């Protein structure tokens, strides 16, 4: 039950994109078509889940054990970029089609602030290993959900008659604002 | 003359926020009041400057293949400094900005300037570019913060400017309001610049 709450909190009520403002760049940049948005979401979910696990170990067994809190940012970003690199190599070895599908998106994930944000939230929340993993997975699912919804709307918008000054980024931001309002309806459902 | 040009381009022509659309996460997240926007802008400008100088000086030392991780480590070091200084001297602002101070590390504006400008140019140009981009980012954040604070609380920098007749639009300071305000402001700027539409470039 507790784990379900962590999952729902990370994916819906405190959606990383729409409520926490993490990962706005890919949200605006890679959300033109549903398939690419879904691939990006999938890759991000994978990296989020795995780096949540790794970050928990780094925090518990290295930073806390040796009293190095000031190295947190440097350590986390190194772990994440190393992990993204590793993931890329592993995916390439394991599944060629998956690598082709995710390929170009993987390197971009390093600078996705949703990943570093997730890493920094884990010690703040004091989650256990299992909870951290679920939190990472939930965050990824919520990210994918927002990406796909956004891409779906933008696909339709391509045929709409948008006033010229609003074309491109302004319209995307206004749609995102409306989605954020819709997601506000979930707030309060789970006390986080 | 040229140094001035590198500085001035960040203010408007190549403004990181309005034109390049870089650093959107902190932009939307912390601009619910003018003070927060200003503080975030200054912290980012500091990291931009520090990271720009060091990366520019190290450009011949860092091997090309591992340059991105190296830049990030330098940037993360300056972010840690900014974080600890703010925690010591401005604890309230530090608490409000919270998670978004460490997230300056992955602000694509900073890495982008290191990659595309600081390491391609001599250090004094890097300084003037970083200062220009820093000031450009700070004014954009403060501007958005002022707009949202006026609509959301009826005040500017905490000083009440609108009287009792004004019913605050709470939406302006909520997450949804950040997207809406930014979208509308960008649209107005597009009208002012007449025609040239911008597109998200950052990933």
Q: In this predicted model, what pLDDT tens digit does every residue of B188-198 receive, in sequence order?
A: 988 887 644 44
Provide, for chain B, the percentages of residues in helix, strand and coil under a 3-state DSSP scheme, each rounded to the nearest 5.
Answer: 70, 0, 25
Alpha carbon distance A148, A138 (integer Å) = 15
Contact A109, A41 (CB under 8 A): no
Q: What is the DSSP letter of B65?
A: G
ipTM of the modeled complex: 0.82
B202 is a domain residue:
no
Residue among A143, A137, A110, A119 at smallest CA distance from A19: A143
Domain count, chain B: 1
pLDDT given at position B11 = 86
Q: Touching check for A97 and chain B: CB below 8 Å? A: no
Q: Touching check for A170 and chain B: CB below 8 Å? A: yes
DSSP A158-183: TTS---GGGTTHHHHHHHHHHHHHHH
Mean pLDDT rounded to a whole number for chain B: 86
pLDDT given at position A164 = 83
Task: Mark yes or no for CB contact A168/B25 under 8 Å.
Answer: no
B189 is a domain residue:
yes
Nearest to B174 among A117, A121, A184 (CB): A184
Alpha carbon distance B84, B94 (integer Å) = 9
Nearest to B200 among A72, A169, A177 (CB): A169
Strand partners of residue B160? B155
**Angular region, B169: left φ>0, alpha ψ -120 to 50, beta rest:** beta
Tell me: pLDDT of B70 over 90: no
Determine the straight-line distance between the first and last CA of chain A, rounded to whole angstroms: 14
All residues at 6 or more sequence positions from A187 whose CB lies less than 8 Å from its CB, including other chains: A13, A19
Shortest alpha-carbon distance between residue A83 and chain B (Å): 12
Residues 53-82, chain A, touching B (beta carbon < 8 A): 70, 72-74, 77-78, 81
Task: Mark yes or no for CB contact B103/A116 under 8 Å.
Answer: yes
Shortest alpha-carbon distance between residue A42 and chain B (Å): 16
Nearest to A81 among B72, B107, B190 (CB): B72
Task: Mark yes or no for CB contact A110/B68 under 8 Å.
Answer: yes
B34 is a domain residue:
yes
Residue A171, token pair as written in the block: 């319209």
Backbone angles phi, psi at B105, to 5 degrees: -50, -45
User: Closest residue of A to B20, CA-based?
Assistant: A169
**Cα dihedral sign, B137-B140-B146-B151:** negative
Task: Mark yes or no for CB contact B179/A108 under 8 Å.
Answer: no
B68 is a domain residue:
yes
Q: Touching check for A18 and chain B: CB below 8 Å? A: yes
The model carries a pTM of 0.86
User: Closest residue of A to B170, CA-based?
Assistant: A181
- Set of chain B residues whose Cβ sits within 8 Å of the Cβ of A120: 99, 102-103
Task: Mark yes or no for CB contact B29/A169 under 8 Å.
Answer: no
Which of A41, A111, A167, A181 to mutate: most B Cβ within 10 Å?
Answer: A111
The C-alpha R_g of chain A, in whole angstroms, comes to 17
Q: What is the mean pLDDT of residues A35-59?
A: 88
B203 is a domain residue:
no
pLDDT given at position A191 = 56
Alpha carbon distance A109, A90 (integer Å) = 15
pLDDT in tens, A9-27: 888 888 888 888 888 878 8
pLDDT given at position A32 = 81
Determine the straight-line distance between the first and last CA of chain B, rounded to whole angstroms: 33
Residue among A35, A155, A24 at smallest CA distance from B203: A24
User: Closest residue of B to A111, CA-based?
Assistant: B106
Domain ranges of chain A: 36-177
Mean pLDDT rounded to a whole number for chain A: 85
Distances (CA, A) of A189 to A9, A80, A180: 9, 32, 16
Tell me: pLDDT of B153 over 50: yes
Tell me: pLDDT of A107 over 80: no
Task: Mark yes or no for CB contact B24/A25 under 8 Å.
Answer: yes
B48 is a domain residue:
yes
Residue B69, token pair as written in the block: 């991780």
Confidence of residue B202 (pLDDT cuts 50, 70, 90): very low
pLDDT given at position A65 = 86
Rounded percentage of chain A residues whose pLDDT exceeds 70 = 95
Q: What is the mean pLDDT of residues B25-29?
A: 83
Residue among A183, A27, A34 at smallest CA distance from A114: A27
pLDDT given at position B44 = 94
Confidence of residue A190 (pLDDT cuts 50, 70, 90): low
Task: Mark yes or no for CB contact A177/B73 under 8 Å.
Answer: no
Alpha carbon distance B71, B53 (integer Å) = 11
Domain that residue B57 falls in: 3-193
B201 is a domain residue:
no
Shortest alpha-carbon distance between residue A36 and chain B (Å): 13
Residue B32, token pair as written in the block: 């619910």
All residues at 6 or more sequence positions from B190 whose CB lies less than 8 Å from its CB, including other chains: A164, A165, A166, A170, B196, B197, B198
Alpha carbon distance B86, B42 (integer Å) = 11
Q: Touching check for A169 and chain B: CB below 8 Å? A: yes
Alpha carbon distance A29, A36 (integer Å) = 11
Which of A113, A123, A153 to mutate: most B Cβ within 10 Å?
Answer: A113
B200 is a domain residue:
no
């Amino acid at each position: 039950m507790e784990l379900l709450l962590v999952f729902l909190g990370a994916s819906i009520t405190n959606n990383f994109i729409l409520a926490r403002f993490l990962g706005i760049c890919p949200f605006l940049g890679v959300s033109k078509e549903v398939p690419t948005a879904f691939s990006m979401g999938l890759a991000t979910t994978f990296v989020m889940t795995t780096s949540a696990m790794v970050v928990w170990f780094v925090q518990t067994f290295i930073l806390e054990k040796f009293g190095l809190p000031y190295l947190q940012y440097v350590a986390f970003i190194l772990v994440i970029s190393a992990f993204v690199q590793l993931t890329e190599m592993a995916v390439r070895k394991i599944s060629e089609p998956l690598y082709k599908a995710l390929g170009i998106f993987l390197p971009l994930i390093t600078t996705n602030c949703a990943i570093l944000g997730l890493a920094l939230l884990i010690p703040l929340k004091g989650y256990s290993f299992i909870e951290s993993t679920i939190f990472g997975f939930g965050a990824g699912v919520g990210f994918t959900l927002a990406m796909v919804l956004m891409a779906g709307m933008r696909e339709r918008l391509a045929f709409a008659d948008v006033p010229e000054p609003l074309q491109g980024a302004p319209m995307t931001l206004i749609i995102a604002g409306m989605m954020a309002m819709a997601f506000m309806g979930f707030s309060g459902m789970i006390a986080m | 003359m040229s140094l001035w040009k590198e500085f001035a381009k960040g203010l408007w022509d190549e403004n990181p926020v309005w034109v390049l659309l870089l650093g959107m996460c902190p932009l939307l997240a912390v601009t619910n009041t003018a003070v927060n926007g200003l503080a975030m802008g200054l912290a980012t400008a500091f990291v931009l400057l520090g990271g720009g100088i060091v990366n520019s000086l190290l450009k011949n030392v860092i091997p090309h293949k591992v340059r991105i991780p190296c830049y990030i480590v330098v940037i993360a070091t300056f972010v840690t400094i900014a974080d600890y200084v703010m925690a010591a001297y401005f604890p309230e602002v530090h608490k409000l900005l919270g998670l978004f101070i460490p997230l300056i590390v992955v602000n694509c504006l900073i890495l982008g300037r290191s990659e595309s400008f600081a390491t391609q140019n001599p250090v004094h140009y890097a300084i003037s570019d970083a200062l220009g981009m820093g000031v450009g980012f700070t004014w954009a954040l403060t501007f958005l913060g002022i707009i949202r604070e006026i609509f959301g609380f009826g005040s500017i920098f905490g000083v009440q400017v609108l009287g009792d007749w004004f019913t605050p639009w709470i939406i302006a300071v909520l997450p949804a309001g950040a997207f809406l305000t930014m979208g509308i402001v960008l649209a107005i700027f597009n009208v002012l610049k007449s025609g040239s539409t911008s597109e998200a470039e950052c990933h």
